[in-house]
Amino acid sequence: MTGLRATGLEFAYGSRPILKGVGFAQLQPGKLTALIGPNASGKSTLFRVIAGLLKNTAGDVHLGDMNLASLPARKRLQQVCFMPQFFTANAALTVFDVVMMAQKQLHGWKVSSEDIEAVAKALHHGGIGHLSEAYVSELSGGQSQMVSVVQALVRKSDVYLFDEPTSALDLRHQLDVLGRIRATIAARQATGIFALHDLNLAARFADHLILLGEGRILAEGPPAQVLRSDAIARTYGVEIEITEGPREDLLVHAY
C-alpha cells in the first residue's frame, strides 16, 4: 500500500481559519509519524479533515494515487481509522461489546466465531482482557483510552490516526500502547500518525515528525532534524536542548 500525502489543506470554523494551506510529503507505509505542536495548532482538525469528518475548503488528501475525497463515506471509513482524543460511552455495553462493534462496523453485524476470537485476541494483546465483561460506563479515563486504542487496532485499515492516544495513561501504559501501535503499523504496512504533546515520546516512537503551528506546517522530517530546528523553540516559546540517551535515542529538555 502506498502512503498518505496532503496538499494545500484549508479549513475554517466560520470566519476563523484553522488550517492554512497544510501539506505534507507522502508518508511511508509501515512507518509511524508524530504530529506535534502546541494547543490549538490544528492537530485534531487536521485529523478530522483527513478522516472525512470535516470538509476542507481547499486542498486534497491522497492515499497513493487515490484522492480520498472521491470515495463514498463508507469506503473512506474503511480506508481511514480515526481514534479521537476523548472516548465516552454511557450505554450499557461491555468492553467486549464495543470492541466487537468496531470489528463489525464496516462488514455487517452478523457475528461469527472468527469475530469472537479476533476480539478476544485483540483485548488480550491490548492488555485489557481482564476488562472484557466490564461496562464501559464504569471505566477510568485510562482504561477507556486503552479500550479506544484496541477498538482502532482491531480494524483493518490503510491509515490510522491516533489523537493523543496516551494522554490519560501512566508511564508504563504509555510505552506499552505506543509500542503496540508502532508494531501494528509495521506489521500491516499501514500509514500511522499519532498526535502527542510529549516530545520525548514522539522522538522515541516516531520515524517521522510533522510540526504544526497556528494552522501551518513549520517543519517536517526525521526526529533528529525537526527537534533540532529553530522552529521547535519558536513554536513552543521555550528553550530546547537535545541530547542522546543511553539507547542512542533523543532526549528533549525544555527550559
Q: Is 61 helix (H, G, I), strand (E, B) or coil?
A: strand
Q: Answer whether 165's CB lies under 8 Å from 96's CB.
A: no
245: which residues sit within 8 A by CB, 6+ positions away?
251
In whole angstroms, what is the distance from residue 111 CA to residue 130 CA? 22
pLDDT of residue 87: 65
Q: Is 94 helix (H, G, I), strand (E, B) or coil?
A: strand
pLDDT in tens, the chain (255 residues): 578 999 999 999 999 999 999 999 999 999 999 999 999 999 999 999 999 999 999 999 999 999 999 999 888 988 999 999 876 666 689 999 999 998 887 667 788 898 899 999 999 999 999 999 999 989 998 999 999 999 999 998 999 999 999 998 999 999 999 999 999 999 999 999 999 999 999 999 999 999 999 999 999 999 999 998 889 999 999 988 899 877 778 899 988
pLDDT of residue 106: 62
- For the CA atoms of 181, 183, 189, 194, the dihedral, rounded to the nearest 10 degrees, stands at 30
**Domains by residue range for the chain, with CATH:** 4-254 (3.40.50.300)
Pair type for strands 80-83 and 66-67: unpaired
Cβ-in-10-Å burial (0-12, 13-18, 19+) of 245 comes to exposed
Q: Which of 34, 35, 32 is nearest to 45 (CA)?
A: 35
pLDDT of residue 81: 95
Q: Which of 113, 151, 115, 158 is nearest to 131 (CA)?
A: 151
Cα dist. 2→10, 30, 66, 217, 232 in Å? 24, 10, 10, 22, 29
248: which residues sit within 8 A by CB, 6+ positions away?
none
Please tell me the pTM assigned to this model: 0.93
Positive/negative CA dihedral, 125, 128, 133, 137: negative
